[in-house]
Amino acid sequence: MSSEEAIALVTRLLERGSLTPVQNIVFEQSWQGLKYSEIGVEKDYDLGYIKDVGSELWRSLSKSLNEKVTKNNLHGVLQRFVEQQEDVQQIAKLQAINARINWGEAIDVSIFYGRSQEITKLKTWIVQDHCRIVTIIGMGGMGKTSFAIALAEKIQNEFDFVIWRSLRDAMPIDEYLTILIKFFSQQQDTEPPDKTGGKISRLIELLKRSRCLIILDNFETILQGGKQAGTYREGYEMYGEMLKRVGEIAHQSCLIVTSREKPQEIALMEGDRLFVRTMPLAGLDIDAGQHILDDKGLQTIGDDLEHLRVHYRGNPLALKMAASAVQDLFAGDVSQFLRQGNFAFNGIGKLIQQQCDRLSKLERSIMTWLAINRESVTISDLQMDLVIEFPQSKLIEAIESLLWRSLVESSALGFTLQPVLMESVTESLIESIAQEILSEQPQLFLSHALIKAQSKDYIRDIQIRVILKPLCDRLFIEITSPQQLVQKLNCLLTHLQTNYAKQTNYGAGNLLNLFRQLQTDITGYDFSRLSIRQAYLQDVNLHHLNFTEADFDNCTFASTFGGITSVVFSPDGEQLATSDTNGSIHIWNSKDGKQLATCMGHNSWVWNVAYSPTQPILASCGQDHQVRLWNSQTGQLLKVMTEHTGIVTSVTFSADGQWLASTSGDQTVRIWNVAGESVQTFYGHDACVWSAAFHPDGKSIFSAGEDNLIRRWNIANGECIQTLTEHHWF
């Protein structure tokens, strides 16, 4: 502190406009360390007078500071006073901050990885686009709370007030609104309106008056389990009214909501360009996942981290739990953990079960069917799977509810489950059905298939490996003798005949599949009058079985084919594909004749198949007006094209594999890209077009029709550039 600063401080302390000239001399030179005998020499002041001025000055300062001040301790006393004042100012500053920012019991996010793109996106929504409500949706453990707090910390300076609260303990709406009203009014509004609606109106007024940021965490706690997602528990319905009014009425504030389920009001108000928006929180990227494992002291090699991240979909809590399990059970060896194959263990299974416990009966059934199917399926597929026939509207409502709960993934191919969810639901299915068989009280055993006989070969093999075989292994824990287990299944068969004859269910089909898995001799067994669904009997000896009045549905017997309509080799000659009048496409190993895959989907004759020369894609066309693209290695459906309005008679790829051409009874030729998008349609034939061939230059294509014409088309502009008319029909 300089002497000038010290004099200014003393002047303020003594509440004077300024020191007298002699006081100024005495203080300044005392501050510099001069003795009384050296002070004022130049002015020829008397020594006694100088001492008296000094004594009076120190007494006055002592009185102002409540501390004895002398010439010798002057520096220390004033310096200490300044530091104390700085502390007081800092405390006042913190108090001012606390008066406008209230984090409640928000968790510490000083260690926070990834999410930079998501934070940037939401910062734009809130700060620039002035969104009124932003909802962060994700399944349990995805890090919604941490993300919301980290986001709020980055944008808090944009707001006059910031408050975080959790609904973990299901706080009543009136209590919550009172907290907000008092906080935003800086404790001035101590008696909010009595009625909830009045409190909401008062809150809206405060949101208009000041720019406020509200973070409302764990919203799913006040939502009702066992019903459609977004339905409120009794007594908490007014939270929905609060969301509705905060979202619809203009104000300058923002409400951030985190939830495992999407509230129904949000679904009605949200939109990419509206003031209410939703971010489904995806998993962490590979770099953030590596940080989590590093914190746990784990090192990964090769693709281990990516396999772990993909299996848990980057769920931070699941990754942390998995890391702990790797440390505790596998001595830190991630590769060994991955090899053992069980990922839905202990804490992760409980985390998933908590969310699944909230599902309605139909939602649980859909989850189970998605686990059984093992790949993306459409709503129509699910409707065919369900034993009880639901209106499609109810099924769509349940699927939407599961999407709102972040439990189902959707794509152009349909709906499926995340891998760890699929594993957990499968384990639950196996355990439940095992108990039903042991107690001879079938429920899921009747409503769900253990395998689907007419699935693609590789899907059915997976169903046998992860459902049917583990179920048998689980039963052998309780029943050690194969003969005793067969006897138990025989009792179940008797139970079905007594109680479920002529009733549609999966019980008999499941029994046949279990008998096949156990290699049981079922000669002479009686399955009469039973519904037999999804029984895989292709290699089962059905000698002397009684199937009188049995109803077979989607079962597979020894291979039979319809008329073969086309056959084609893959470009490398390793595969052979055939199509038939049953609507099936079969892919074979051309060397040993082994069937590699069956592609099911066309509902009538398949007229033609063609391999892509550059990619593992097989194209097909049929009587059902469709062109379909399949993965030629697995038989998985990639795309369905439905633009033709007549039978599709042929498909062919260009030499570079860039284009696919299809011809049709609707008198057109269509050009598609390999993503299944129609890029050009040629009109000109007056009858069915039967075939097409690309010119080697790739710039034009020839088509042949029932109108006796061969036409050449410019692919780029769709113009017919040549017509050959020499063919005639007699």
| Rounded Cα–Cα distance for residues 298 and 34 (Å) | 67
Cβ neighbours for 228, distance < 8 A, ≥ 6 positions apart: 360, 397, 398, 401
Distance CA 202, CA 196 (A): 10
How far apart CA 683 and CA 699 sit, in angstroms, is: 17
For residues 105 and 631, which has the higher predicted lDDT (pLDDT)?
631
pLDDT at 612 (0 to 100): 96
Classified as helix, coil or strand, 377 is strand
> Which run of H or of E encompasses 64?
helix 47-65
3-state secondary structure of 239: helix
- Rounded CA separation 149/638 (Å): 40
- Highest mean pLDDT (candidates 79-83, 93-97, 138-142, 509-513): 509-513
Listed range (321-325, 401-405, 670-674) with the worst mean pLDDT: 321-325
Question: What are the φ/ψ torsions at residue 410 (nearest 5 degrees)?
Answer: -120, 150
What tens digit of pLDDT does each residue of 499-522 get? Answer: 998 899 999 999 999 999 999 999
Residue 712: pLDDT over 60: yes
Which of 5-9, 167-171, 455-459, 653-657 comes out lowest in average pLDDT?
A: 5-9
Spatial separation of the C-alpha atoms in residues 660 and 476, rounded to whole Å: 53
Q: Could you count the other beta carbons within 10 Å of the beta carbon of residue 702?
A: 17
- Which residues are CB-contacts of 200 (< 8 A; sequence separation ≥ 6)? 177, 238, 241, 242, 245
**4-32: average pLDDT:** 77
State mean pLDDT over 156-161: 92
Q: What's the pLDDT tens digit per position in 176-204? A: 999 999 999 887 877 788 899 999 999 99
DSSP string, 2-58: -HHHHHHHHHHHTT-SS--HHHHHHHHHHHTT--GGGTTTTTT--HHHHHHHHHHHH
More confident residue, 146 or 310: 146
As a whole number, mean pLDDT of residues 363-379 equals: 92
CB 420 within 8 A of CB 313: yes
Q: For residue 371, name the pLDDT band (cuts at 50, 70, 90).
A: very high
pTM for the full predicted model: 0.56
Name which of 83-87, 385-389, 478-482 the model is least confident about: 83-87
Phi, psi of 495 (to 5 degrees): -60, -40
Banded pLDDT at 454 (limits 50, 70, 90): confident
Name the DSSP letter for residue 126.
I
pLDDT for 558:
61
pLDDT of 368 strictly over 60 = yes
The 648-653 sheet, strands edge to edge: 648-653, 659-664, 668-673, 678-683
- Rounded Cα gap, residues 460 and 536, in angstroms: 9
What pLDDT is stored for residue 189 in this prediction?
78
Whole-number pLDDT of residue 95? 52
How many angstroms separate the CA atoms of 609 and 651, rounded?
7
More confident residue, 556 or 150: 150
Judged against a pLDDT cut of 60, whether residue 91 lies above it is answered with no
- Length of the chain counted residue by residue: 730
Give the tens place of pLDDT for each residue, 458-490: 889 999 999 999 999 999 999 888 899 999 999
pLDDT tier, 41 (very low <50, low <70, confident <90, very high otherwise): low
Poorest-confidence range of 247-261, 327-341, 619-633? 327-341
How confident is the model at residue 346, as a pLDDT? 56
pLDDT (tens digit per residue) in 244-290: 999 999 999 999 999 988 998 999 999 999 999 999 988 888 888 78
| Nearest residue to 279 via CA among 298, 257, 295 | 257
**Paired strand residues for 653:** 660
Decide which of 209 and 726 is more confident: 209
**In this structure, is the dihedral angle defined by the CA atoms of residues 93, 96, 97 and 98, taken in order, positive or negative?**
positive
pLDDT reported for residue 96: 52
Task: Output the pLDDT for position 730.
Answer: 39
Q: How far is CA 310 from CA 306, 313, 335, 357, 436, in A?
A: 6, 5, 14, 25, 33
pLDDT, averaged across the chain: 86
Structure tokens at 371: 């686990």
Mark residue 583 as left, alpha or beta (left: phi above 0; alpha: psi -120 to 50; beta: remaining).
Answer: left
Paired strand residues for 705:
689
- Segment 52-63 shows an average pLDDT of 84
Q: Which residue has the tokens 């008797």?
A: 494
Mean pLDDT lowest for which of 287-291, 343-347, 586-590?
343-347
Q: Return the half-sphere exposure (C-beta side, CA atoms, 13 A cut-off) of residue 338.
A: 17
Whether the predicted pLDDT of 423 surpasses 50: yes
Say what the pLDDT of residue 506 is: 94
608 or 346: which leads in pLDDT: 608
By the 8 A CB rule, do 376 and 416 touch? yes
In this predicted structure, the answer to whether residue 6 has a pLDDT above a threshold of 70 is: yes
Helix (H, G, I), strand (E, B) or coil at 712: strand
Q: Specify the pLDDT at position 285.
A: 84
Cα-based angle 112, 113, 118 (whole degrees, multiple of 5): 100
* Paired tokens of 267: 């679904």
Helix (H, G, I), strand (E, B) or coil at 457: helix
Higher pLDDT among residues 590 and 535, named by residue: 535
532-555 pLDDT, tens digit per residue, is 899 998 888 877 788 877 887 888
Sorted by sequence, the CB contacts under 8 Å of residue 273 that are 6+ apart come out as none
Rg (CA), the chain: 39
Average pLDDT over residues 7-17: 73
